[in-house]
Chain A
Amino acid sequence: MSKNFSRRDFLKLAGVGTTATAVLTGCGPASRYVKREPYMQMPEYTYNGQSTYYATTCRECAAGCGLVVRTMQGRALKVEGNANHPLNLGKTCARGQATLHGLYNPNRVRGPIKHSRGERLYASDVDPFNGEFPDVAANLNWDDATQVVADALTKYKPNEIAFLMGTASDHLFDFVTDLAAATGLNAPVRFGALSMFEARATLSKASENLFGEASLPFFDLGGAEVVFSFGANFLETWLSPLAYTRGFVGLREGKTKLRGYLVQFEARMSQTGGKADEWIPIQPGTEALVALALGRLAFERRGGALPRAFADVDPKEAAEKAGVEFETLERLAFMFADKAGSLAIPGGAALGQSNGLEVAEAVLALNAIPDNFGKRGGVSLSALAPTQTEYHRPASPKEMEEFTAKLASGEIKALFIHGVNPLFELPKALDFQNALSKVEQVISFATFPDETAVAADYIFPDHHGLESWGYQRVFTGSALPILSGAQPVVSPFYDTRATVDVFLAAAQLAGGNFASATPFKDEVEFLQSKIAPLMNETGGHFSAVDAPTFDASFQQYGGWWKTEGAFGAPNTADVLNRDLSGAESQFVGEGEFYLVPFVSPTLAEAGANKPWLQELADPTTTVMWSTWVEINPHTAEELQIDNEDVVKIISEFGAVEVAVYKYPAIRPDTIAIPFGNGHSAYGRYAEGRGANPADLFSAEYNQAGDILFGGLKVKIEKTGKKLAIPRLESMMGVYHEGMGEE
């Protein structure tokens, strides 16, 4: 070898040669061969390459739809609706479909973690689509974790320990309720942003006032001919969207009669409003007035003595106040009166006004005109789930404020949080952040690294919904009492543990009352004990001779429900024989715009970390991946703001910055912001994206305890910034923007 050409150069060349060869011949052996592991013990029911299907329950919202998940070789591949499940009859919504993006989400809590409050759980400030995201590794084992829980149970007095959980009434709620009852712990509190925006407290309070029974009313759209919806966005996220969508199809396609007619009264056209035959943009705050006016006009049309409820209202004045032509109102009222199957539904932002309860009562009372209570095509009370004796609604925001105050006063020393992300879902005005900092020990059982998990001392991650056992009560949407069953469709992907199991183990360690209150080997045994009584009930859709068969069938069918059932008939004796107030809403704030916050139909409260949900186009605006504020184009012109201008929305309490979407179907004096994005944690796809309109809410409540999310007036301030909001639609094709003058 000459010194000009060293051995190293030779090796380099040879290396290049080999690499080139590997590339040219279609990659080397490393990429050509894969390893395959056979089953250790092939289950009897499967062959390689064949799918196995498991029935379970969707946990993306509290509705409790049944799922059937296709799995193959231990991986969950596709979610479908459970065709036997009476609530959803084989269908799912987009969020149910994307539940796999939760299961296989790249940002999950991978094991028990102890960390200092506020410490991040994954690297942030990284490009969510190309960057590397090192997650914080689990730094505890489950024995230690269990010990922590046991210590918390024993260290503090029972009344210093509290539980905060999600909206769903599920097995964990039952477990904690039982535990609390036996040991004197504080009873668990359930809350979720969806229940806040659905104003469940108002609905059930109205039901109590009118019908004498606190329950969620159910509206049988499918049997109706004319439906007046006062802001209820039942096609999107409202209560049980699948059941109501089915009802809507029934309304549209009633085979024996004419196509049903849907009228939507709301200031901002929701998707439901978009599908409606008529959209009446009434002045926010006048819903009760309009309902009463309609009632009076309809009653007069029918003839007979005017009932007390509608006696005081002046329809002409109401029409003027609501900004509706009197003729329109009259025409609609006559339609309502003339058709046999009329139905009126309260909902949406109208219930979140200071007169929300009055709105709910007035609209519900309209149903007395066709007297559809308890009938097909009318208003009924939701069927109670099996094992349930009365409707147990989640906490209202007002109750959450009380709970927060208890935390802030230091009365609660240990807080367990499961299935809810209060730092995001609770309006900022309640200052949960501060309250949390006053609690000595905060333990989160979050599956994902959400804001509350970040602010907790410990995270003891529960399994993802598809990895866990359980059941969930279906609270509305079907006439049948349903207990929807859940089972793991795949084995846990990470080192997570079922929260019930954690508590069972901790209770054993804690001993005393705790141990005796939880005489179960594990979560499954607890579940079996809970569903065992159903075996002896008649009318179930399957029967079993012994408990194991019953349990197996329960899992196989995805739950237990009766083959026959009926909605509860409300007691309607004096619905109309009372004073109903048509008072207009008092709005909080000095601004000139009514604010309509609505839940993003694709993201809802917890979908922001699922990339395909983010990329789904919003049904009304087709916006993806962000938050926007909808402003009437004429208003925007007056304010000299354009699409994608960032504006500051200022309320009495706070401010958010969002980009403008000029929305043609909104009142000029109203703006709307979707709830769903605006996370400061919760994984790479959610963090730092958009804004949260709940930051604007003031801590003021209507009579039923629901926060005044629909009762705000806000100001708009220009910021001079621009922010592109990705949308599926073409601005040129749909709005003729940039197409030149015609």
Chain B
Amino acid sequence: MATVSDLNISEVKLSEEYVGKWGMFINQDVCTGCQACVAACSMENNIPFVGDEDSGYGRTMNWIRIERFWEGEYPEVKMTQNQPMMCQQCGHAPCEPVCPAFATVHSQTQQLNLQVYNRCVGTRYCANGCPYQVRSFNWRDYKRPEPLPNQFNPDVTVRRRGVMEKCTFCIQRIHQAEDKARSEGREVADGEFTTACAQVCPADAITFGRVDNPESLVSQLTKEYQGVRHLEELGTLPNISYFKGA
């Protein structure tokens, strides 16, 4: 009989040998910062809007944000490349070991950092551990007046107050695609499905796919552009590569 210890939910892989499963390549050179990914993500994943006061106070719930900085001063001022920032689905995630309730666990099957909403007690420790600052917390029960709830995605849990959440790489789409492929007796093909942000991106700046398959588009692009990973020096083994642009 299997026991908890067989589950490997906190198994740690430290070395360079780590290969993820799902990953992304983000081309910052073509990202126009248009926010379509933010909107698409919110619509797909039932993310609430928080209103002017809370959003101004740093409580926006978006799972993906687009960062930009300034370099230099007028007239030599330059806007840095837009940088979409979401959960990097680290292979060795700092958020995972710190959760006392196992609400933030590593999926060995999908190689994703899961956030199990119904197990979360809201210590917010994971968010402090995350060096990418991509976790958002349900500070309140944000209201979505009728009939807005009609557009809730039934495949995604609607979170209530006191629960941490973050980008899931649209795990509902992964499951759907895998289920469909399995029912047809085949493997999921590269590009058969993608995440909401990658699907909507007008510049195709985001590419999603299998990073453990060297033939996949995302692997090819990562290789071609020599994608770099954010804060790699922390040993987080992130699964998103960026091309910072010229």
Contacts and interface: CB of A to CB of B under 8 A. Distances in A.
Q: Please tell me whether chains A and B touch each other in their complex, using a CB distance cut-off of 8 A.
A: yes
Interface of A: 49, 72, 75-81, 88, 90-98, 100-101, 103-106, 128-130, 133, 235-236, 241-242, 245-246, 248-249, 252-253, 259, 269, 271-275, 277, 279, 281, 493, 601-602, 611-617, 619-620, 622, 624-626, 632-634, 664-668, 689, 724-730, 734-735
Nearest to A602: B35
B43 A617 contact: no
19 contacts: A76-B150, A81-B199, A91-B200, A92-B36, A92-B40, A92-B202, A94-B36, A97-B43, A104-B148, A245-B203, A252-B30, A611-B49, A616-B39, A617-B35, A620-B79, A665-B79, A667-B75, A726-B57, A735-B70
A259 B246 contact: yes
Nearest to A76: B151
B36 A624 contact: no
A103 to B, nearest CB: 8
B79 A726 contact: no
Contacts of A734: 69-70
Contact of B154 (A77, A79, A272): A77
A49 B154 CA distance: 9
A602 B117 CA distance: 30
B34 A615 contact: no
Nearest to B246: A259
A94 B39 contact: yes
B30 A249 contact: yes
A587 to B, nearest CB: 21
B147 A625 contact: no
Contacts of B75: 281, 667
A79 B43 contact: yes
A78 B79 contact: no
B238 to A, nearest CB: 20
B230 interface: no
Given A75-B150, A249-B204, A664-B70, A612 B43 contact: yes
Contacts of A281: 74-75
Nearest to A615: B49
B56 interface: yes
Interface in B11-37: 27, 29-30, 32-36
Interface of B: 27, 29-30, 32-36, 38-40, 42-44, 49-53, 55-58, 60, 62, 65-70, 73-75, 77-79, 82, 142-143, 145-154, 196, 199-205, 246
A274 B204 contact: no
Given A78-B153, A668-B74, A625 B52 contact: yes
Contacts of B51: 128-129, 615, 625
A619 B201 contact: no
Interface centre among A602, A612, A632, A729 (most CB of B within 10 A): A612
Contacts of B42: 97, 612
A632 B38 contact: no
Given A76-B151, A104-B150, A241-B34, A665 B52 contact: no
A72 B154 CA distance: 9
A622 B77 CA distance: 17
Contacts of B35: 94, 601-602, 616-617, 619
A103 B69 CA distance: 35
A362 to B, nearest CB: 23
Contacts of A92: 36, 40, 200, 202
A269 B202 contact: no
Contacts of A96: 36
The 9 A-B residue pairs with the shortest CB-CB distance in the complex, in nearest-first order: A726-B56, A274-B79, A97-B39, A625-B52, A619-B33, A94-B39, A106-B145, A129-B51, A245-B202
Given A93-B36, A619-B35, A274 B202 contact: no
B43 A98 contact: yes
A625 B203 contact: no
Nearest to A250: B30
A149 to B, nearest CB: 28
B93 to A, nearest CB: 23
A78 B44 contact: yes
Most buried by B among A91, A664, A726: A726
Nearest to A666: B74
Contact of A724 (B29, B56, B60, B148): B56
B184 to A, nearest CB: 15
A734 B55 CA distance: 17
Contact of A614 (B27, B49, B73, B199): B49
B32 A80 contact: no
Contacts of B58: 730
Contacts of A634: 74
Nearest to A235: B32
Given A664-B70, A664-B77, A612 B39 contact: yes
Contacts of A632: 74
B34 A94 contact: yes
B69 A601 contact: no
Most buried by A among B39, B57, B246: B39
B39 A274 contact: no
A249 B202 CA distance: 9
Contacts of A724: 56
A104 B200 contact: no
A127 B91 CA distance: 44
Contacts of A730: 58
A90 B199 contact: yes
Contacts of A106: 145-148
Contacts of A616: 35, 38-39
B30 A248 contact: yes
Contacts of A668: 74
A617 B66 contact: yes
A734 B71 CA distance: 10
Contacts of B29: 252-253, 259
